[in-house]
Amino acid sequence: MTDDKQIATMLDEQIETKIASDGTVTVKLLSDEQMIRDIEFAQYMIEFADNEHLWRKYGDHRAKDRSIAAEEKLKKMFMEGWADREMGAKAYGRFRLLLLYIHKVKPQV
């Protein structure tokens, strides 16, 4: 019989499921730290895009400052996963444009 503590730990963790093209299913448990990181990353994406929109559409200077702060945190979290800094910077540039496009913010040229 399994230990109650082990069951509580299993229920506390989130599951990531991937289905490959050949039909194989991979199930992976995500730690609480990973879930917190994913939630923070999503919050920074929204905060950056919303404040960038306010800055560009209405000229709100406080929104510009909030946008810059959120982008710094977002970029730091994004770049942590890249060993090659040059490739990471290129990927972040594309990610940033896509994020602004999704939120219907016209990027500055």
Tens of pLDDT, residue by residue, the chain (109 residues): 444 444 444 444 566 677 888 888 777 776 778 788 888 988 999 999 999 989 888 888 999 999 999 999 999 888 887 778 888 888 888 888 888 888 787 766 5
pTM attached to this predicted model: 0.65
Structure tokens at 80: 């942590």
Domain parsing of the chain, residue ranges: 33-102
The label of the residue with tokens 């979290």 reads 77
Q: Is the CB of residue 28 less than 8 Å from the CB of residue 16?
A: yes
d(CA 95, CA 15): 25
Q: What pLDDT shows up at residue 81?
A: 75
- Angle subtended at Cα 92 by Cα 86 and Cα 94, rounded to the nearest 5 degrees: 110
